[in-house]
Amino acid sequence: MPSYNPPLRDMQFVMHELLQVTDEFKLMPKHADLDADTINAVLEEGGKFTTGVTFPINASGDHEGCVLDQTTHSVTTPKGWKEAYAQYVEGGWPALSGDPQWGGQGLPIVLNQAFYEMLNSANQAWTMYPGLAHGAHAAIEAHGTEAQKKMYLPNITSGKWLGTMCLTEAHCGTDLGLLRTKSEPQADGSYVITGSKIFISGGDSDFAENIVHLVLARLPDAPAGSKGISLFLVPKFLVNNDGSLGARNPIFVTGIEHKMGINGSATCQISIDGARGSLVGEPNKGLAAMFVMMNAARIGVGMQSLGLTEIAYQNALAYAKDRIQMRSLTGAKDLSKPADAIIVHPDVRKQLLTAKAYAEGGRAMSLYCALLIDKEHNHPDEQVRKDSAELVALLTPIVKAFLTDNGHIATNACMQVFGGHGFIKEWGMEQFVRDNRINMIYEGTNAVQSLDLLGRKILGNNGESLKKFGNQIAALVAEVKGDEQHVDDMQEFTVPLADLGQKMTAFTTEIGMRAFQNANEVGAASTDYLRVAGHLVFGYFFARMAYISLKAIASGASSGDAKFYQGKLQTARFYFAKLMPETLSLMATARTGAESLMDTEAALA
């Protein structure tokens, strides 16, 4: 059976030493009084909840799955899952980063994200139910009417009600302009909605007394395509004026998808048969309102793969230290045993270090994005808010696609460490692989994220957002150059980082020029381009983490801390030596262009 230990020390390192969150919070009146001790205490309690409540029911939930009662259209989740959610609500966890106006605790997003990493490590499928509620809350808070906010947000904040996002239809996935669900306005200001949806995560459960479905549909006079989509709030149970629950709304689950992974998450087919709803935001502007939820979900999906990368690494490391097989190529290391532990073998170490590097780089990047969101929402300086929002927009597709691709690489590498045992359910590794696989697909496939990054976020503003991130790299390089004590030791990090930054500029310009002649050049290069961008971002954070570690060791860190910092340095060295060089082959393949992909009528006949 697998085990899980929350990586609290590394979270504290990222929070307090890399991001220096308490200094950032002092500039935000809302969080100015939040100190490191409080942050650490919340993380410790979150770790206890995940290890004690949600992790023990992960494997059993994967085995049991969900059950649909076709008569009542109600979903029963695996044994113990409903009770775990009740403990989650009782502990106040749904309200952690919620606005106090709606009953929230008002703590920063970055703290909530760290908690969600632990939740995803412990039980991704279970975590999807409350995770979707955060997105629904954000969409209603940003675009809902005052009446909608007062009616729904306190109950979502408390965890009393859950939420979903209902986008996909059987004939259309990412291309939402093709959707057919209809909405008819009524004399009382409400709408009657009819249609069907598929792949709706958390479409029903036994967790909460009500579910707030956010549904995309078309008004009768809507223009064709994506410009004719509106967003509607459609509750499972209608809500009376006094806040009590009324009649069952005819939005029903008709089937549960049988999936490769995340089996405890009810992925539902939904029939909407004249359900009552209310408009969220302006008519025909539904995608803009839904994107608030979708962008939050995209960062959340990256966090799902980060969580799985971390737990897969922990278990593979423990196994590699215990499993004996063959002798080290440089001679026996443990003469008391008939063979050495497999951790002595170079390729096993490569697999372990790949997972470790992708976990630590993903943690740094995702918490940095969460801090940017806190600054975007709460910083008093308008320019800081604007710059933070721009960087979040740039990094969101990288968080979603790079972290989930890396999760696929890492969980498979960790399963490989187990050899044949990794393929056996009892060890838990194959579940991590299966659960992670969906993360590369939903909330916009990783190819869609790559098109968004290159076509919209980079070429769409002539690389201005990328330049802003590049300025941070330049500032780090300049800081290191001015540090006589550490400049030589930092060369192995800053030189290749600066070199990749320069190559990235030329690479971007070249792809952009080609795209002016042939739009397919963007599609042909985008997936490779996103991975190069991801490595650039990871390289920046690993260089910063290495710099912090060098200075901490030089200042006389205690033996325990010195070992931690030495581990950081070794992981950074591995990343720069073995993982970041992938960028060379990625840029080479991207530069071959679209012809070998599109001039293939005979090959694909």
What are the tokens at 381? 């300086």
Q: Comparing C-alpha atoms, which of 239, 234, 232, 240 is closest to residue 252?
A: 234
Element (H, E) at 562: helix 559-574
Which CA distances in Å does 33 have to 16, 54, 543? 15, 31, 30
Sign of CA dihedral 143, 146, 152, 158: positive
CA angle 396, 400, 404 (to 5 degrees): 155
Helix (H, G, I), strand (E, B) or coil at 247: strand
Single out the catalytic residue among 117, 376, 430, 443: 443
How many other C-beta atoms are found inside a 10 Å radius of the C-beta of residue 61? 25
Rg (CA), the chain: 25
Element (H, E) at 381: none
Q: Is 75 in contact with 252 (CB distance < 8 Å)?
A: no
> What end-to-end distance do the CA atoms of the chain give, in Å?
48
Integer Cα distance of 349 and 343 in angstroms: 6
Closest CA to 164 of 172, 175, 154, 152: 152
Q: Is 350 exposed, middle or buried (0-12, 13-18, 19+ CB in 10 A)?
A: middle
Q: Please choose, from the candidates 193, 126, 141, 206, the residue with its C-alpha nearest in 3D space to the C-alpha of residue 166.
A: 193
In one letter, which amino acid is 513? Answer: M
- Cross-strand bridge partners of residue 237: 248
| DSSP conformation class of 38 | H
Q: Give the integer Cα–Cα distance in Å for 293 and 289.
A: 8
CA distance 76 to 61: 11
If you count DSSP H runs as helices and E runs as strands, how many of each does the chain have, helices first? 18, 11
Could you give the angle at which helices 286-322 and 109-143 cross, rounded to 10 degrees?
160
> Which whole-number Å values give the CA distances from 441 to 39, 302, 404, 572, in the listed order?
33, 11, 9, 29
Give the Cβ contact number of residue 487 at 10 Å. Answer: 13
Check if 24 is active-site: no
Catalytic residue set: 443
